[in-house]
């Protein structure tokens, strides 16, 4: 049975809020990393990718749902990881 529109919007809003809060926490930890911001953030993004993937597998979430889920969050972390990788080579030491 399909979910009503407002429930899908609420679920997607929760995923966006969860992603924003986690990004604030991860960026904060990376800022105080002893290895440098870019390498610390890259490491934390790798951990976030693995964590989100495992949660999606455990919860048996499906790919390409109408509402956002942990798989979409995993893709967002992978995009941030790629973005950090671009600037890791150009950032001054």
> In terms of residue numbers, what domain contains 43?
5-88
Report if residue 93 sits inside a domain. Answer: no
DSSP annotation string for 45-91: HHHHHHHHHHHHHHTTPPTT-SS--HHHHHHHHHHHHHHHHHHHTTS
Question: pLDDT at residue 93 above 70?
Answer: no
Number of domains making up the chain: 1
pTM flag (> 0.75): yes
CA–CA separation, 84 and 45 (whole Å): 9
More confident residue, 10 or 60: 60
Question: pLDDT at residue 9 above 90?
Answer: no
pLDDT in tens, 10-50: 888 898 999 999 999 999 999 998 888 888 898 999 999 99
Report if residue 49 sits inside a domain. Answer: yes
């Amino acid at each position: 049975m399909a979910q009503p529109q407002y429930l899908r919007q609420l679920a997607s809003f929760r995923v966006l809020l969860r992603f924003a809060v986690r990004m604030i926490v991860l960026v904060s930890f990376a800022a105080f990393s002893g290895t440098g911001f870019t390498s610390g953030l890259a490491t934390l993004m790798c951990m976030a990718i693995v964590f989100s993937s495992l949660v999606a597998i455990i919860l048996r979430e499906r790919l390409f749902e109408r509402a956002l889920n942990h798989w979409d969050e995993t893709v967002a972390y992978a995009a941030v990881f790629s973005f950090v990788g671009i600037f890791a080579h150009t950032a001054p030491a």
